[in-house]
Structure 1
Amino acid sequence: MDTLEQPNLTRHASLLPDTGEPGFGVYVHWPFCAAKCPYCDFNSHVRHQPVDQERFTAAFLKEMAAMRQLSGPKTVTSVFLGGGTPSLMNPSTVSAILDGIAKEWHMPDGIEITMEANPSSVEAERFRGYRAAGVNRVSLGVQALNDRDLKFLGRLHDVEDALKAIKLARDIFPRMSFDLIYARPKQTVEEWERELREAISYAVDHLSLYQLTIEEGTPFFGLHKMGKLVVPDDDQSALLYEATQEITAAEGMPAYEVSNHARPGAESRHNLTYWRYGDYAGIGPGAHGRLTRGPIKLATATERKPEAWLELVERDGHGVLDQEQLGYDEQADELLLMGLRLTEGVDLARWQQLSGRDPDPKREEFLLEHGFIERIGNSRIRCTQSGMLILDSVVADLAC
């Protein structure tokens, strides 16, 4: 266990307010987990031998330097340590990563610095170490508030562990969020409403509420294909979604994005960067990035396998396997795809500048008449709650 370090006070200022701008984020991917959940298709890997954290840290720092060359000088508005299970990192590893980001880019006091954590890997001493390193927001993968469903989801923690982790996070970090998965097999609306109200009673200012999806390549996909795992149908899922929106809004934590809910001012700054189509540097195995240099936006993707990524970085200075220049039409489509997830919607002038055209009036009128989208003044467009249920179709219609 790392000894606790003295807090880096320059990282402990009050969080800066949201300016409404897309911003520039840095995402660092820690790819290791203690166990692989049966629903998860993220780039996460189980290793039965200790991970060489010093070697991986050195590689993260090398790849940061390469990303800095691509991005040019930037002011960081958020940092996100995701995974995998970043709470398996030593506090000294987290501190070194944050120091590396501050070395490569301008990193003002008071920006949001988030780390994902699993309740099964939470210890008070480690949490205090992460706080001392500069982390000021933690996102806990709770996923359910009953032991039966936690076991079904393959989680290593039980409800007691989850509540202990939530209490520690509330005590140690200025901001805290946790995730729940709903639309689980045989879950009724009444059961979910009770669980959601319980979750809100524990939450501070933010919840991420995801519907269970069956992803190809996961154990759940095989079970579902064989008929051994039955999830709620579209009608039941819609009822669960509507109940989610009603209860969170009534409790002062309305949706600001399809699956994310917050008290006003507590929205995830880093995720807003994605959804507002800002730039972000993706560092680590399987990380993606979007970096703008003048008229060019680069889409980057790194090697997914941790050890292969490590060898590439040590040899070449980075693990980027794919680097694509996105044209204006592609950027306009991505802006719609990301921005329509937000309740604040999309800046039409920005979309028009990228696409070089106005939305098709007939398609827009159809979506407006059927209550799938709405205008916010003359400058923005957004999905309604009904539109959120068919978001991909709405985006496809507007992008044509």
Structure 2
Amino acid sequence: MTPGLADGPGFGVYVHWPFCAAKCPYCDFNSHVRHQPVDQQRFAAAFRRELAAMRERTGPRTVSSIFLGGGTPSLMAPETVGAILEAVAGHWTVPDGVEITLEANPSSVEAERFRGYRAAGVDRVSLGVQALDDRDLRFLGRLHTVEEALAAVRLAREIFPRLSFDLIYARPGQTVEAWRAELEGAIGHAADHLSLYQLTLEDGTPFYALHKAGRLAVPDADRAADLYEATQEVTAASGLPAYEISNHARPGAESRHNLIYWRYGEYVGAGPGAHGRFVENGRRVVTFTERHPETWLDLVERKNTGVTGGEVLSRTEEADEFLLMGLRLAEGIDLERYAQLSGRALAPERVALLREEGLVAPVGNSRLRATPAGMAVLDALVADLAR
């Protein structure tokens, strides 16, 4: 059982640092390149103000995890990180031992900076390695080499108690054999958590445009399925089974922050383009902020928040989101909680049919999970269950 299940899904704080040294051609995240130094003190002050505004909305809470994402948060000075973490602790209760994660790119890793993050309170780093092949790193637009990536992994292992890194597979021309060897090599570098993502061509990215123009070929659906199956086999055999569709960990090393999302917990989002989902006045609300960094900054300085929109979810919307997020997990969903959110239980005859088709399976008497076959068609599965 992954950590914290008996304690509820938790409450998280997500802070988005939107700046990168370069924009990767596959990336559709809210990230921006600036050729002049960013005024970090001004942004840190804005983060403090937006977090204060979020505290007014959530009321007192106990924080389960803090995640500094981006963009490239490792471009932040340790002092900026420290100011943000102090603000979080000033507004909510932050117990000892809370997971505090910072995303980092190997090209922006420095020993002094890493030690500064650790001193500020960061206890987990997530490295955007993406590939252990120099040619593919160049193709993916990454600024580091394999040697630099592995040096960053070693350094992170020395300084932080917990480490994760990302890899992208289903790259053009990638064979199952080559991916198996690369993945085994990655696991051999002392990883206790891996996020393994299939390359996707997101609308609006350079890769999408190249593919549409016939200039970029990616593995077809059958090859992609073979690569996914190999991923599951190699990680499970190495003691890092999938606990979510794309995430693998040794027991106890799961990402506590991401578990909040997948278990349909609550979280606030601060920073340009950040989203939040939390209960306010008895109803779950969604918030999202202005995406453009300098526009967000101006809004916060004038209005104390960069929130530009949001909505109150209906019970049906909450239940649908709960299904979509929870069925990504190997532990599946709590059937009683679904009934509480939706006001009705899942239809027994529909569950029975999906079990016969091999798409879902019970977990004890109180939970339901998607099988590997169900994971492959998750959106359709959720739509069928939610009818």
TM-score by length of 2: 0.98
Matching residue of 2:128: 141
Matched, 1:107 2:88: no
Contact 1:180/1:209, CA 8 A, preserved across alignment: yes
Matching residue of 1:194: 181
The amino acid across from 2:323 in the alignment is: L
> For 1:296-338, what per-residue CA distance to the aligned partner results, in whole angstroms no more than 9, with x for missing partners?
0110000000000000000000000112111111100110010
Matching residue of 1:132: 119
The amino acid across from 2:116 in the alignment is: G
Q: Supply the distance in 1 between the matched residues of 2:282 and 2:208 (Cα, whole angstroms).
A: 41
Q: Supply the distance in 2 between the matched residues of 1:172 and 1:298 (Cα, whole angstroms).
A: 38
Q: Supply the distance in 2 between the matched residues of 1:228 and 1:289 (Cα, whole angstroms).
A: 38
Matching residue of 1:251: 238
Shift of 1:386: 1.1
Matching residue of 2:386: 399
Matching residue of 1:76: 63
Matched, 1:169 2:156: yes
Q: CA RMSD in A?
A: 1.1
Select the residue among 338, 341, 346 that pairs with 1:354: 341
Where 1:202 maps in the other structure, the secondary structure is: coil
Where 2:22 maps in the other structure, the secondary structure is: coil
Shift of 1:234: 1.0
Matching residue of 2:77: 90
Matching residue of 2:21: 34
Shift of 1:294: 4.8
Select the residue among 303, 316, 319 that pairs with 2:290: 303
Where 2:60 maps in the other structure, the secondary structure is: coil
> For 1:205-256, what per-residue CA distance to the aligned partner results, in whole angstroms no more than 9, with x for missing partners?
1000000000000000000101111111111111111111111011000000
Contact 1:70/1:291, CA 8 A, preserved across alignment: no
Matched, 1:292 2:279: yes
Q: Any stretches of 5+ residues in structure 1 without a counterpart?
A: 1-15
The amino acid across from 1:200 in the alignment is: I
Q: How many residues align?
A: 385
Contact 2:165/2:191, CA 8 A, preserved across alignment: no
Shift of 1:123: 0.4
Q: Supply the distance in 1 between the matched residues of 2:117 and 2:23 (Cα, whole angstroms).
A: 24
Contact 1:87/1:117, CA 8 A, preserved across alignment: yes
Matching residue of 1:381: 368
Moved more, 351-360 or 146-155: 351-360
Shift of 1:34: 0.1
Contact 2:180/2:231, CA 8 A, preserved across alignment: yes
Contact 1:178/1:203, CA 8 A, preserved across alignment: no
Matching residue of 1:324: 311
The amino acid across from 2:136 in the alignment is: D
Shift of 1:200: 0.4
The amino acid across from 1:150 in the alignment is: L
Q: Supply the distance in 2 between the matched residues of 1:393 and 1:213 (Cα, whole angstroms).
A: 19
Matching residue of 2:322: 335
Contact 1:85/1:118, CA 8 A, preserved across alignment: yes
Q: Supply the distance in 2 between the matched residues of 1:68 and 1:20 (Cα, whole angstroms).
A: 22
Matching residue of 1:222: 209
Shift of 1:361: 3.1
Contact 2:9/2:265, CA 8 A, preserved across alignment: yes
Select the residue among 39, 43, 57 that pairs with 2:44: 57
TM-score by length of 1: 0.95
Matched, 1:231 2:218: yes
Q: Supply the distance in 2 between the matched residues of 1:92 and 1:295 (Cα, whole angstroms).
A: 37
Q: Supply the distance in 2 between the matched residues of 1:172 and 1:126 (Cα, whole angstroms).
A: 11
Contact 1:18/1:269, CA 8 A, preserved across alignment: no
Identical amino acids, percent of aligned pairs: 69
Shift of 1:20: 4.9
Shift of 1:59: 0.3
Contact 1:367/1:373, CA 8 A, preserved across alignment: yes
Shift of 1:17: 6.4
The amino acid across from 1:310 in the alignment is: L
Q: Supply the distance in 2 between the matched residues of 1:378 and 1:295 (Cα, whole angstroms).
A: 29
Q: Supply the distance in 1 between the matched residues of 2:264 and 2:350 (Cα, whole angstroms).
A: 23
Q: Supply the distance in 2 between the matched residues of 1:68 and 1:166 (Cα, whole angstroms).
A: 35
Contact 1:177/1:203, CA 8 A, preserved across alignment: no
Q: Any stretches of 5+ residues in structure 2 without a counterpart?
A: none
Contact 2:31/2:71, CA 8 A, preserved across alignment: yes
Select the residue among 253, 268, 275 that pairs with 1:281: 268
Check 1:19–1:365 CA distance in 2 against 1; reply closer, same or farther (3 A cut). closer
Matching residue of 1:6: none
Q: Supply the distance in 2 between the matched residues of 1:385 and 1:271 (Cα, whole angstroms).
A: 20
The amino acid across from 1:351 in the alignment is: Y
Q: Supply the distance in 1 between the matched residues of 2:285 and 2:264 (Cα, whole angstroms).
A: 13
The amino acid across from 2:76 in the alignment is: M
Where 2:26 maps in the other structure, the secondary structure is: coil
Contact 1:32/1:46, CA 8 A, preserved across alignment: yes
Shift of 1:126: 0.3
